[in-house]
Amino acid sequence: MLLSNTLKSLTAIEQARVRVSAASSSNLLNSADTDTTYEGLFLKSHVVFENYLEKLFFLIVSSKINYPQTRAKLRANFTSTRSAVQITKGGDDYLDWLPYKKTLSRAETWLVSGRPFSELEDGDRQFLRAATTTRNHIAHNSPHTKKLFLSKVIGNSNLPPTKRNPAGWLRSKTRLGHQDDRLQAYIMQYGQCAKQLYPAALASRELK
Confidence label for 133 from pLDDT (cuts 50, 70 and 90): very high
Between CA 144 and CA 146 the distance in angstroms is: 5
pLDDT at 69: 87
Return d(Cα 79, Cα 84) in angstroms, integer: 8
Position 178: which residue type? H
Between the alpha carbon of residue 110 and those of residues 3, 25, 78, 104, 117, the distances in Å are: 22, 49, 10, 10, 11
Q: Tens of pLDDT along 32-64?
A: 999 999 999 999 999 999 999 999 999 998 889
- Report residue 30: phi and psi, to 5°: -75, 170
The string of pLDDT tens digits covering residues 168-183 is 999 999 876 667 899 9
Q: Which residue has the higher pLDDT, 20 or 76?
A: 20
Q: Is the pLDDT of residue 188 over 90?
A: yes
- pTM summary value: 0.93
127 pLDDT band (50/70/90 cuts)? Answer: very high
Taking alpha carbons only, the member of 184, 159, 161 closest to residue 169 is 159
Beta bridge partners of 74: 111
Of 182, 183, 180, 146, the residue nearest 161 (C-alpha):
146
The stretch 139-143 carries a mean pLDDT of 97
pLDDT in tens, 63-106: 899 999 899 998 887 766 777 777 777 767 789 999 999 999 99
Q: How many CA atoms lie within 13 A of 102 on its CB side?
A: 14
Average pLDDT rounded to a whole number, residues 178-196? 93
Residue 159 pLDDT greater than 70, yes or no: yes
